[in-house]
Structure 1
Amino acid sequence: MTNKIFLALDFPTLDEARSFIDQNELQGVPVKVGMELFYREGPRLIELLKQNGHDIFLDLKLHDIPITVERAMKNLAGLGVDMVNVHALGGGDMIKRAKEGLMAGVAVGVIPKLLAVTILTSMDNHILNREMKIEGNLQDNILHLSELAAKNGADGVVCAAHEAKKIKDMCGKSFLTVTPGIRLAESPDDDQKRVATPAAAREGGADMLVVGRTITNAKEPKAAYEKVEKEWLYGVKL
């Protein structure tokens, strides 16, 4: 399921998300559902999106004690989403138990892909060292957490575009790299610190993109989505 562009449905309600999809003729595109929308609408939202043909990345970034994450993943697996994630900073045992929960929770069908978030794309080395008191540089920590995730059953990581190649070199070509923080050249960076254009993400070796405000805040969202798609597929700015 590589080469997919997940549209981030960062809307407060299902009605607003559905209205945006319908008005901009984006029915059936892969979507990312985050905390804001899922915590308000719950499993009903996932069921409706599946009925409308959307692949779904459920972006809840679980981070808790291993048994709690395992039980939560067992429940989430039954929703039939395509990908879910945890924070790699939760540790190897938590990642391993998350995967076990997903495997136990799928009665029939495909087990959701388990992704690990290494270091948020809104963070930089200053935040990592000064605020979180995590030693070392950003890249070394990202690679370490990616390897930890791979060793404990994760199928891939959420990472910045320029990190993808090094992660694949360490964890293998089949290890998924899913890249948020995607911006068209004319779009603002907003609160993201490690951003990239679709073409740069392609060049860097990312498998999938997560794109939000560069589409949802555009004057013509469908045209923005198509521009991201063309640049992603062909590696050129069109």
Structure 2
Amino acid sequence: MNSELNERVMVALDVDDRKKALEIAKQLQGSGCWVKVGLELYSIAGTEIVRELKQMGFRVFLDLKLHDIPNTVKRTVAVLANCGADLLTIHCSGGYPMMAESVETAKAASTSENGLKLVGITVLTSLDEERLHNELGVGRDLKEQVLKLAELGQSAGLAGVVASAQEARELRAQCGPDFLLITPGIRPAGSETQDQARTLTPREAIEAGSSYIVVGRPITRAENPREALEHLWD
């Protein structure tokens, strides 16, 4: 097992059952990976699941994709600032004031030096070029939209962004070496893409410049999640 590589994996605990999430986490405990708590699990288990996962030794990526008027988002960030999560997502498309005010709120509300950091959602990996234009009415090319939103997020003080690994190389060149690039839509070689439209393998994503990769079903739905994690880089 390559623990150094595992530290760059965020396992998405996208289940609707707290007990099931903790069972999967127990199998992954000590491997070095992060865990991601998304809307599905958070809706049933709340901030308590974050605290439980932190007690198990995990770093926690709280993926709530906050998107609302600036005051609502920053007040929510204030509530979440000390729940134990290491990273929290907000939508870059919420605009500069929403992001900048939320960053300042997270800094002010955090009680530890290594407090909650915010990362921005650029373009969801379930979207492709056609849907971006025809359904959402965005005039820019998909990659241009991702880069523009990342630029806006970085200027607002975000620690990084979430984007497809297919945009990672250009994002790394634009945003520099210290900006976090978190890439979902990762599928091991030979696995199904399911509802993801823009995917790469784990090694391809890291080589492209990803800081962290998000992997869900290929690990969480495996008969042995720990073994699936260990073979992720095969």
TM-score, normalised relative to structure 1: 0.92
Residue 206 in 1 paired to residue 210 in 2?
Answer: yes
User: 1:90-136: CA deviations, max 9, x gaps?
Assistant: 01111101101211211233122211010000001111110011112
Q: Identity, % of aligned pairs?
A: 40
Residue 36 in 1 paired to residue 40 in 2?
Answer: yes
Give how far 1:21 is off. Answer: 2.8
Residue of structure 1 aligned with 2:75, choices 44, 61, 71: 71
Residue 225 in 1 paired to residue 229 in 2?
Answer: yes
Query: Counterpart in 2 of 1:27?
Result: 29
Q: Distance in 2 between matches of 1:112 and 1:21?
A: 21
Q: Secondary structure at the match of 1:218?
A: coil
Query: Counterpart in 2 of 1:235?
Result: none
Q: Secondary structure at the match of 2:231?
A: helix
Residue of structure 1 aligned with 2:153, choices 149, 153, 156: 149
Give how far 1:87 is off. Answer: 0.7
Letter paired with 1:10: D
Q: Secondary structure at the match of 1:42?
A: helix
Query: Counterpart in 2 of 1:133?
Result: 137
Give how far 1:165 is off. Answer: 1.7
Contiguous gaps of at least 5 residues in structure 2: none
Give how far 1:80 is off. Answer: 2.0
Query: Counterpart in 2 of 1:175?
Result: 179
8 Å contact from structure 2 (residues 82, 116) kept in 1? no
8 Å contact from structure 1 (residues 182, 214) kept in 2? no
Letter paired with 1:223: E
Letter paired with 1:70: K
Q: Distance in 2 between matches of 1:108 and 1:55?
A: 15
User: 1:192-233: CA deviations, max 9, x gaps?
Assistant: 0001101110110101111101112223322211112xx2xx
How many equivalent pairs are there?
A: 228
TM-score, normalised relative to structure 2: 0.93
- Greater Cα shift, 176-185 or 26-35: 26-35
Q: Distance in 2 between matches of 1:17 and 1:67?
A: 32
8 Å contact from structure 1 (residues 72, 101) kept in 2? no
Q: CA RMSD in A?
A: 1.5
Q: Distance in 2 between matches of 1:20 and 1:57?
A: 16
Residue 16 in 1 paired to residue 20 in 2?
Answer: yes
Q: Distance in 1 between matches of 2:161 and 2:225?
A: 27
Contiguous gaps of at least 5 residues in structure 1: 232-237
Query: Counterpart in 1 of 2:87?
Result: 83
Q: Secondary structure at the match of 2:213?
A: strand
- Greater Cα shift, 58-67 or 101-110: 101-110
Q: Secondary structure at the match of 2:90?
A: strand
Q: Distance in 2 between matches of 1:186 and 1:16?
A: 26
1:97-112 to 2 correspondence within 5 Å?
Answer: 97-112=101-116
